[in-house]
Chains A and B, each alone.
Chain A
Amino acid sequence: MKQAYSDLKKQLDEIIVKIQDPSTEIDDALELQKKAQEIITELEKYLQGVKTKLNKK
């Protein structure tokens, strides 16, 4: 994972706040959507890794 989990989590939280804001322009909203998908993919990979480790123990 290139960035720390806490950083990605923070970024996603910020995207969600912005995307919910009615004043956010659509183009920005589209960019934010795209970025959000990338972050979600990273986060899902990370949490799956944690799950696997826990289940091994």
Chain B
Amino acid sequence: MSDQTPAFGVSDFVAVFNQTVSSLYPEVLVYGEIANFRISRGRWVYFDLKDEYSSVKFFGSTTQLPGPIEDGMTVEVLGSPYLHPQYNFSVQIKSVQVTGEGSLTKAFLLLQRKLEQEGLFDISRKRLLPEYPEKVGLIASKESAGYGDFIKIVQKRWPMIEVLEFDVMVQGAEAPTQIVKAINDANQLTLDALVIVRGGGSRDDLVAFDDERVVRAVAGSRAPTLIAIGHERDVVLAELAADVRASTPSNAAEVLVKDFMDELQLLNHAKTVLKNTIDGFAKKIYDDILIYRQSLAHALQLKLMISEQWLSRSIDLIKAHDPYLPLKKGYALAQTSDGKTIRTAKQAKHAKIFDLVFQDDTIKVEEAK
């Protein structure tokens, strides 16, 4: 030991060590294979990262994990080295990313199984998109071709729709956090649907949409979700959790809104059918009225004819029983001056003066003195 060898008490040493390391390496990225992975109290994560020769302890919380982790997976861990006064040296986790094809696939399948068992992908949870959405949220990278394709097609098909845009990174370490925040921000608004799109890329480029946080945010969205990630062949976990999946951003636009011109054509057709139907009804009613009027006129004519015939018969009967008819045969009718008929000689003698009515005239008759 020389005079220049620094000497510290234990606590001082720990403090100086941490100060030195944090100034030199505030953050480090360490990659290796997971070993001794465990979760304590449902919240705290402990594991070792090891390679052929060495092993380092890591400590963090479950919220920093991208999904289920198990021993044997290869990962990259971003963290801060720290010498704990009691619990020795470890790296405090900031984020974990699964690497290596085998590990990625394993992580994907583990997470898929876990979420499936929770029911996040159940068909019974799926909601329908509104037929004519008026206001939707769009989560995408504004620099991406997928964003451009979606907006162009939506505006062409249904220009009346209002699209609220949330610009996010759709790949990289920051992507899951940004996407989850965008979903949460969108859910503060009243939207008819929430659309998330990104264009094609390698499978690695799409891993943000396999992130458990993103998948849960999609499943928990208040607005019905429509997701199109990558190409037709790519299926990410967020799509399984969404209400509706489209194959591409362009397809998402076609799924979301109807074509304005098609709707106009349908409307015009409906108008024509309606007009023809009303015209048909009107014509039928008019024809019916015409028939009724004709029937009524005919019935009235018939009634008139019957009445005339009856009147004519009545007149004939009256004429046939006319008390003055015998006068035409040469008979005369004897009447008193007040019009009473004299029927006997006795009545005539009693009357002294009476009228004798002939068919052409009336004469007065007086008893000869």
The residues of A with any CB-CB pair to B shorter than 8 Å are 9, 12-13, 15-16, 19-20, 26-27, 29-30, 33, 36-37, 40, 43-44, 47, 50-51, 54, 57
Q: For the complex, is B7 an interface residue (Cβ under 8 Å from A)?
A: no
Q: How far is the CA of A7 from the CA of B332 in the complex (A)?
A: 35
Report whether B322 and A33 are in contact in the complex, using a CB–CB cutoff of 8 Å: yes
**Cα distance, A32 to B362, chains bound together (Å):** 21
B95 to chain A, nearest CB (A): 96
**Given A19-B321, A26-B341, A27-B340, does the pair A47, B314 have CB atoms closer than 8 Å?**
no
Chain B residues in 8 Å Cβ range of A27? 339-341
B314 and A40: CB pair below 8 A?
yes
A-B pairs with lowest CB-CB distance, top 10? A19-B321, A36-B318, A29-B323, A16-B317, A26-B323, A26-B341, A30-B323, A12-B314, A50-B304, A43-B311
Cross-chain contact B318 with A16 (CB below 8 angstroms)? yes
Least distance between B299 CB and chain A CB atoms (Å): 11
Whether B304 and A40, one on each chain, are in contact in the complex, defined by CB atoms closer than 8 angstroms, is no
**How far is A1 from B52 in the complex, measured between Cα atoms in Å?**
128
State which size class the interface on B falls in. 20 to 34
B residues apposed to A, CB below 8 Å: 297, 300-301, 304, 307-308, 310-311, 314-315, 317-318, 321-324, 339-341, 343
In the bound complex, residues from chain B placing their C-beta under 8 Å from that of A40 are 311, 314-315, 318
Measured in the bound complex, the distance between the Cα atoms of B307 and A43 in whole Å is 9
Determine the residue in chain B with the shortest Cβ distance to A43. Answer: B311
- Using known A-B contacts A27-B341, A47-B308, determine if residue A15 contacts B301 with beta carbons closer than 8 Å: no
Given contacts A16-B314, A51-B304, 18 further A-B contacts (CB under 8 A): A9-B307, A16-B317, A19-B317, A20-B317, A20-B321, A27-B340, A29-B323, A33-B321, A33-B322, A33-B324, A36-B314, A36-B318, A40-B315, A44-B311, A47-B307, A47-B311, A50-B300, A54-B300
Chain A residues with CB below 8 A from B340, complex form: 27
Task: Please give me the residue from chain A that is nearest to B343 by CB atom.
Answer: A26
Distance in angstroms between the alpha carbons of A50 and B302 in the assembled complex:
12
Residue ID in chain A nearest B315 by CB atoms: A40
Q: Which chain B positions have C-beta within 8 A of A51? A: 304
Central interface residue in B297, B300, B311, B324, by most chain A CB within 10 Å = B311
Interface of A is mostly: helix
CB distance from A21 to the nearest CB of B (A): 9
CA gap between A8 and B307 in the complex, in Å: 12
Alpha-carbon distance A43/B312, docked complex (angstroms): 11
In the complex, how many angstroms separate the beta carbon of B22 from the nearest chain A beta carbon? 111
What CA separation (Å) do A15 and B311 show in the bound complex? Answer: 13
Give the Cβ gap from A2 to chain B, nearest Cβ, in Å. Answer: 18
A41 CB, min distance to chain B CBs, angstroms? 11
A54 touches B311 (CB 8 A): no
Can you sample 19 A-B contacts with CB below 8 Å?
A9-B310, A16-B314, A16-B317, A20-B321, A26-B323, A26-B341, A27-B339, A27-B341, A29-B323, A33-B321, A33-B323, A36-B318, A37-B318, A40-B315, A40-B318, A43-B307, A54-B297, A54-B300, A57-B297
A40 vs B314: C-alpha distance when bound (angstroms): 9
Q: With the chains together, A37 CA to B315 CA distance in Å?
A: 8
How far does the alpha carbon of A33 sit from the alpha carbon of B321 in the complex, in Å?
8
CB closest chain-A residue, reference B311:
A43
Alpha-carbon distance A40/B311, docked complex (angstroms): 7
Compute how far the CA of A8 lies from the CA of B161 in the bound complex, rounded to whole angstroms.
Answer: 79
Task: Please name all residues of chain A whose beta carbon is closer than 8 Å to the beta carbon of B341 when the two chains form the complex.
Answer: 26-27, 30
Docked-complex contact B322 and A47, CB < 8 angstroms: no
Would you give the shortest CB distance from B310 to chain A, in whole angstroms?
A: 8
